Amino acid sequence: MAELLRFERVVKTYRIGSVEVEALRGVDLSTDAGEFVAVMGPSGSGKSTLVNIVACLDTPTRGRYLLAGEDVTRLEDDRLAAIRNRRIGLVFQGFNLLSDATALQNVELPLIYAGRRRGRIDRAMDALRAVGVADRATHLPAELSGGQQQRVAIARALVNEPDILLADEPTGNLDSVSSGEVLRLLEGLHGAGKTIVLITHDPDVAGHASRIIRIRDGLVTQAGPSAPREAAGANRAASGAESGIR
């Protein structure tokens, strides 16, 4: 399959006062189109920095980041904005919906910044329908449950049909029932061919992915092509019918 995302010796250092902190210390990784990858690591491992760079919210200090073969490491601000707008869908732990806008208006945002006018509301409604919250279109985020808010956020991330859906601890603020729903939604999207990068510290959540990349102290420690054991079990449970036949 075509390589969609590639990190080459990516280093990111932050300056906190007079101290330089190396958040990423030379990360290499690669993801193909259509993969469902989980990035795992404890807090402070550099996960968040990785997400920010993948999402083009931040740029590497050294190294290269290629998105579908294009080096996006040194792009100017407006080009990065365009990439965030069209090629990457971001889902956050804290939903990050605009509190003064309805669900529909939130989903419309990426379309507005993409300069789309024709059929905008229809497309936003379609996205809401796809995640099952079309009936909440005119509600403000404060009037929605956590699970519903995260669905709206996913609809917003998907509305411009990005290459990658990047979900940063998407279930971190949700109860187990809502978490299950959101994860099933992600699996469904993967099944439909969407590339998904899921960042989490929770092995159960990571288990839904087809591949796990482990990160610790700013370095990738394991980026194996197959899912590890404990996650494989979860995978099997999720596709129980299939294993029953075998």
Q: Which residues bind another protein (CB under 8 A)?
A: 52, 55, 57-58, 77-78, 81-82, 84-86, 90, 92, 96-98, 100-101, 105, 109-110, 112-115, 117, 156, 160
**Which is nearer to another protein, 98 or 237 (by Cβ)?**
98
In contact, 146 and 178? CB cutoff 8 Å: yes
Residues with Cβ within 8 Å of 11's Cβ and at least 6 positions away in sequence, in order, are 22, 24, 25, 26, 27, 60, 61, 62, 63
C-alpha 118/C-alpha 104 separation (Å) is: 15
CB of 18 to another protein, least distance (A): 19
| Smallest separation (angstroms) from another protein to the CB of 99 | 8
Our measurement of the distance from residue 90's CA atom to the centroid of its chain's CA atoms, rounded to an integer in Å, reads 5
CB nearer another protein, residue 33 or residue 82: 82
Identity of the residue, 115 or 240, whose beta carbon is nearer to another protein in the bound complex: 115
Of 6 and 156, nearer to another protein (C-beta) is: 156
Least distance to another protein, CB of residue 140, Å: 9
Q: Which is nearer to another protein, 86 or 139 (CB)?
A: 86
- What is the amino acid identity at position 121? I
CA distance 237 to 234: 5
Question: Mapped to the 3 state alphabet, what secondary structure does 112-158 carry?
Answer: HHCCCCCCHHHHHHHHHHHCCCHHHCCCCHHHCCHHHHHHHHHHHHH
**Closest distance to another protein from the beta carbon of 154 (Å):** 13
* Shortest CB 43 distance to another protein, Å: 15
